[in-house]
């Protein structure tokens, strides 16, 4: 009989781990605090409208496909997805508008047409991003990294010999400023630092690998929205015999001399030979482990940013908008200085507007749209959020009016709001950070909490707050690493 595994949390990493281990005939049980799968990959409904509440950008779909293949199934029977023709429409304060096309050649032509950027620069940048990805991904994303073998592996030595190509000694902004003439394009590529809650003026240029994922490998969108990824994975896990307990928070991990023996739920022990945690590592140590020293140094590290999101039911249709839209701040550097230095929200924040009903017609009634309006905000340190949110809402509406030439406020039929406090409370994310620790330092990639510690037997960690980091692809990578680690 194969071993039994209890998984804490049905976020995307918990679901992926459940599928992987069930495919190896482990007896898998998942305990989830809330009433639905997905964690941050959530959804809300209101009178014919539906919103994805968390992630909206879907890259590296192969990592999800792989789970279906392992289970002997086909992803397209549960979740179909499309490659985006226009990845994002960018609006700048000087009135310039650029479509970032999924096809690199077309993107390059658009950059020349709108900004006069010489042909070849975008291609060269994306080729360089690909090179960084190829040198680093197997080492830093898809492997455990924290073992001696890594440092003598041919891949590590190859990366070391070409370290100068990784842009690890320059900031992302400086690397981009060297490559592009147009400050608009520098800003566009700088924005990829925010894909893991970091700051382009401090994060290493190595993070330019993110634009490779989106522009060379492609940006995708599931035909029934992002939450359908979680539902499809849950359905697959069900078919494989995984048992789910919703509304069942795990209270403790039952340990015997540093060996995991099961989980405690509602005062009762559910024994298992292995335990995998998909919850935020901070709360895991604080709440679930007894008699274990809190790794203070780990939690002194800088957190990634959080978000303020307005989910608006809009009475109208805006043909000039795409699925993903960005309205850039007129002063990007100052925006990040507010986030990091002053821990507040800039008066002219960059707005991300995501409208899933542009592709999923059932997500809004005819003649209406479901807007997800997000800005980056600092982690929750007890700021006066109610005042900050009221001011930010005003500034967002003004900025949208400037850029779209329409006052959106009278069109809002219903509003839901997510802020660092609700993100923290809703998904147990320490300080409401979206992606665990930030990647602002050169050593961030090496200093996340490992997926496994020798001092604990039978205990493993997956998800956005541990190695290799936050975001759907990295969470799926953590599940793959743990799968390989469990003998």
Ligand X SMILES: Cc1cc2nc3c(=O)[nH]c(=O)nc-3n(C[C@H](O)[C@H](O)[C@H](O)COP(=O)(O)OP(=O)(O)OC[C@H]3O[C@@H](n4cnc5c(N)ncnc54)[C@H](O)[C@@H]3O)c2cc1C
Compare residues 250 and 364 and give the one whose CB is closer to ligand X.
250
For residue 156, the minimal CB distance to ligand X (Å) is: 26
Which one among 250, 313, 353, 396 touches ligand X, defined by CB under 6 A? 250
Q: Given the rule CB under 6 A, which of 173-181, 313-321, 383-391, 467-475 is the region that contacts ligand X? A: 467-475
Told to check if 129 binds ligand X by CB under 6 A, we report no
Compare residues 278 and 483 and give the one whose CB is closer to ligand X.
278
Q: How far apart are CA 464 and CA 487, in angstroms?
A: 23
Told to check if 40 binds ligand X by CB under 6 A, we report yes
Told to check if 434 binds ligand X by CB under 6 A, we report yes
CB count within 10 Å of CB 155 equals: 14
Q: Taking a C-beta distance cutoff of 8 angstroms, is the pair 368, 315 a contact?
A: yes
For residue 154, the minimal CB distance to ligand X (Å) is: 30
User: What are the CA-CA distances from residue 283 to residues 48, 402, 427 (Å)?
Assistant: 36, 42, 11
The set of residues, in sequence order, having a beta carbon less than 8 Å from that of 151 and lying 6+ positions away, is: none
For residue 249, the minimal CB distance to ligand X (Å) is: 4
For residue 432, the minimal CB distance to ligand X (Å) is: 8
Compare residues 29 and 428 and give the one whose CB is closer to ligand X.
428
**Contact pattern for ligand X over residues 399 through 418, marking x by CB under 6 A:** --------------------
Told to check if 378 binds ligand X by CB under 6 A, we report no
Which one among 110, 117, 199, 278 touches ligand X, defined by CB under 6 A? 278
Told to check if 63 binds ligand X by CB under 6 A, we report no
Which one among 28, 57, 219, 353 touches ligand X, defined by CB under 6 A? 57
For residue 55, the minimal CB distance to ligand X (Å) is: 3
User: What are the CA-CA distances from residue 334 to residues 330, 340, 401, 407, 419 (Å)?
Assistant: 9, 10, 22, 26, 21
- How many residues at the interface with ligand X, by CB under 6 A? 36
**Contact pattern for ligand X over residues 291 through 330, marking x by CB under 6 A:** ----------------x-x---------------------
Q: How far apart are CA 287 and CA 447, in angstroms?
A: 22
For residue 52, the minimal CB distance to ligand X (Å) is: 9
For residue 279, the minimal CB distance to ligand X (Å) is: 4
Which one among 5, 6, 8, 328 touches ligand X, defined by CB under 6 A? 8
Show the tokens assigned to 44.
Answer: 């809300």
Q: Taking a C-beta distance cutoff of 8 angstroms, is the pair 368, 313 a contact?
A: yes
For residue 141, the minimal CB distance to ligand X (Å) is: 13
Told to check if 233 binds ligand X by CB under 6 A, we report no
Task: Name the residue with tokens 């007896």.
Answer: 27
Told to check if 222 binds ligand X by CB under 6 A, we report no
Which one among 5, 19, 26, 55 touches ligand X, defined by CB under 6 A? 55
Told to check if 471 binds ligand X by CB under 6 A, we report yes
Which one among 54, 102, 349, 468 touches ligand X, defined by CB under 6 A? 54
Told to check if 279 binds ligand X by CB under 6 A, we report yes
Q: Taking a C-beta distance cutoff of 8 angstroms, is the pair 463, 9 a contact?
A: yes
Told to check if 380 binds ligand X by CB under 6 A, we report no
Which one among 140, 192, 435, 460 touches ligand X, defined by CB under 6 A? 435
For residue 375, the minimal CB distance to ligand X (Å) is: 11
Q: Given the rule CB under 6 A, which of 39-47, 63-71, 133-141, 451-459 is the region that contacts ligand X? A: 39-47
Q: Which residues bind ligand X (CB under 6 A)?
A: 8-14, 31-34, 39-41, 54-57, 249-250, 278-279, 307, 309, 423, 427-429, 434-435, 463-464, 470-472, 475
């Amino acid at each position: 009989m194969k071993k039994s595994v209890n998984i804490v949390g049905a976020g995307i990493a918990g679901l992926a781990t459940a599928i992987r281990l069930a495919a190896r005939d482990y007896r898998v049980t998942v305990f989830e605090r809330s009433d639905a799968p997905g964690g941050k990959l959530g959804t809300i409904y209101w009178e014919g409208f539906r919103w994805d509440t968390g992630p909206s950008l879907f890259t590296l779909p192969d990592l999800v496909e792989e789970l279906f293949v392992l289970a002997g199934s086909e992803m397209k029977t549960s979740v179909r997805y499309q490659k985006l023709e226009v990845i994002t429409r960018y609006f700048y304060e000087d009135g310039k508008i650029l479509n970032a096309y999924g096809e690199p050649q077309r993107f390059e032509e658009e950059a020349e047409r709108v900004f006069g950027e010489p042909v070849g620069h975008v291609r060269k940048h994306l080729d360089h991003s690909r090179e960084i990805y190829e040198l680093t991904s197997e080492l830093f994303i898809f492997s455990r990294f924290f073992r001696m073998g890594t440092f003598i592996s041919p891949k590590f030595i190859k990366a070391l010999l070409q370290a100068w190509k990784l842009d690890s000694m320059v900031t992302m902004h400086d690397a981009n400023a060297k490559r592009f003439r147009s400050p608009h394009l520098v800003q566009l590529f700088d924005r990829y630092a925010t894909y893991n809650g970091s700051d382009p003026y401090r994060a290493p240029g190595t993070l330019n690998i993110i634009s490779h994922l989106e522009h060379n490998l492609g940006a995708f969108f599931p035909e029934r929205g992002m939450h359908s990824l979680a539902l499809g994975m849950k359905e697959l896990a069900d078919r494989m015999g995984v048992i789910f307990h919703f509304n069942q928070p795990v209270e403790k991990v039952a340990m015997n001399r540093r060996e995991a023996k099961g989980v405690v739920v509602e005062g009762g022990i559910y024994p298992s030979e292995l335990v995998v945690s998909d919850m935020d590592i901070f709360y895991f140590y604080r709440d679930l482990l007894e008699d274990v020293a809190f790794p203070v140094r780990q939690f002194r590290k800088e957190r990634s940013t959080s978000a303020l999101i307005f989910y608006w039911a809009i009475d109208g249709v805006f043909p000039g908008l795409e699925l993903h839209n960005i309205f850039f701040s007129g002063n990007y550097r100052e925006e990040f200085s507010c986030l990091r230095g002053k821990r507040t929200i800039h008066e002219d924040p960059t707005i991300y507007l995501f409208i899933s009903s542009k592709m999923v017609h059932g997500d809004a009634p005819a003649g209406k749209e479901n807007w997800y309006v997000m800005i980056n905000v600092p982690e929750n340190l007890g700021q006066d959020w109610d005042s900050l949110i009221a001011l930010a809402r005003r500034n967002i509406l003004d900025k949208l009016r400037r850029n779209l030439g329409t006052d959106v406020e009278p069109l809002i039929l219903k509003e839901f709001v997510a802020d660092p406090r609700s993100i923290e409370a809703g998904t147990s994310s320490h300080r409401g950070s979206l992606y665990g620790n930030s990647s602002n330092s050169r050593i961030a990639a090496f200093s996340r909490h490992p997926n496994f510690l020798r001092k604990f037997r039978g205990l493993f960690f997956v998800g956005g707050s541990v190695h290799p980091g936050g975001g759907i692809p990295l969470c799926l990578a953590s599940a793959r690493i743990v799968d390989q680690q469990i003998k």
